Amino acid sequence: MAESDPISQPPPRVPQHVAIIMDGNGRWAEQRGISRNEGHKQGLESLRAAVRGANDLGIQWLTLYAFSLENWSRPKSEVESLMGLLEHYLETEIDEVMEKGIELRCIGRTDRLPPRIRDGVAAAVERTRGNREMHLIFALSYGGRAEIVDAARKLLRDAELGNVDPERLDEKMFAAYLYDPEVPDPDLLIRTGAESRVSNFLLWQIAYSEIYTTEIMWPDFREADLERAVQEYQSRERRFGLTSAQVSGRRGAKA
């Protein structure tokens, strides 16, 4: 990620990168006496709304936690339904995604995805590569610890080949081994569905993200809710370990 000094700048009006844990589909459905899968289906509408909303707000990077490594242990029928919805999304949205100039990316252990889905994701990523209006990253078959382990594995291989000197390893060098090192760290992490936990999402990258949780279940989440989260973010002071006086002093010095 860009190594510019984050505390020497006033917080940008709009977060550059928003990451969302889209949670609550199952409970939303259960509350209505319908199947969890109906909740996931409705969640797709919220996903579309989040992409539209982020684009309208000028958010450059949007990462959506769509399926965790732990989610593979859900009932087979639910996993199949989620994969089907993903495929449906890619098929039905890709033209609009292209039109809007959005680039699709994917992070996770995608080798575990059914081949049809994996190919569909790869084709969508390929087709949208180089789009610059916004970057939409799907965390699919994703685990934060797995990402760190996968990075460590690649790093160790490079060390074995003599390409890396262990003494020179620092955070910046390590981060270059993560799934997509071009992506800046999230400024804002949103979790819907009334839970306050990270659930193995972007563990490395959220070190200094602002966290926003809401009671709203994902199928009810709309553009206005994203806007509210961004407004709350804008009211926060990001201190990165410094005192408030230091942060405003730095800003004053810059102004």
Catalytic annotation on 23? Answer: yes
What b/e readout covers 60-72, taking b as 16+ CB neighbours within 10 angstroms? bbbbbbbbbbebe
Binding mask 42-81 for ligand IPE (x = CB under 6 A): -----------------------xxxx-xx----------
In angstroms, the CA 225 to CA 231 distance is 10
Cβ distance 100 to 134 under 8 Å? Answer: yes
Four-point Cα dihedral 181, 183, 184, 185, nearest 10: -80
Residue 215's binding partner out of Mg ion, ligand IPE, none, with CB under 5 to 8 Å set by partner kind: none
- By the 10 Å C-beta count (0-12 exposed, 13-18 middle, 19+ buried), 54 is classed as buried
CB under 6 A: which stretch of 54-62, 152-160, 192-200, 237-245 binds ligand IPE? 192-200
In angstroms, the CA 32 to CA 38 distance is 10
**How many chain residues are in contact with ligand IPE, going by CB under 6 A?**
19
Task: Indicate whether 39 belongs to the interface with Mg ion (CB under 5 A).
Answer: no
CB under 6 A: which stretch of 17-25, 106-114, 168-176, 237-245 binds ligand IPE? 17-25
Question: Within a 10 A sphere around the Cβ of 50, how many other Cβ atoms?
Answer: 25
Pick from 35, 110, 131, 199: which binds ligand IPE (CB under 6 A)? 199
Provide the residue type at 169 as one letter. L
Set 23, 185, 187, 225: catalytic member: 23
Residue 225's binding partner out of ligand IPE, Mg ion, none, with CB under 5 to 8 Å set by partner kind: none
Cβ 220 to Mg ion shortest distance, Å:
14
Task: Indicate whether 195 belongs to the interface with ligand IPE (CB under 6 A).
Answer: yes
Task: Indicate whether 219 belongs to the interface with Mg ion (CB under 5 A).
Answer: no
Catalytic annotation on 71? Answer: yes
Pick from 47, 82, 155, 226: which binds ligand IPE (CB under 6 A)? 82
Task: Indicate whether 67 belongs to the interface with Mg ion (CB under 5 A).
Answer: no
Torsion over CA: 21, 27, 33, 35 (sign): positive
Cβ distance 206 to 198 under 8 Å? Answer: yes
Task: Indicate whether 38 belongs to the interface with ligand IPE (CB under 6 A).
Answer: no
Element (H, E) at 20: strand 17-21
Restricting to residues 15-34, which ones interact with Mg ion according to CB under 5 A? 23
CA angle 87, 92, 94 (to 5 degrees): 90
Residues with active-site annotation:
23, 71
Site residues (CB under 5 A) for Mg ion? 23
Binding-site ranges for ligand IPE (CB under 6 A): 21-27, 65-68, 70-71, 82, 193, 195, 197, 199, 218
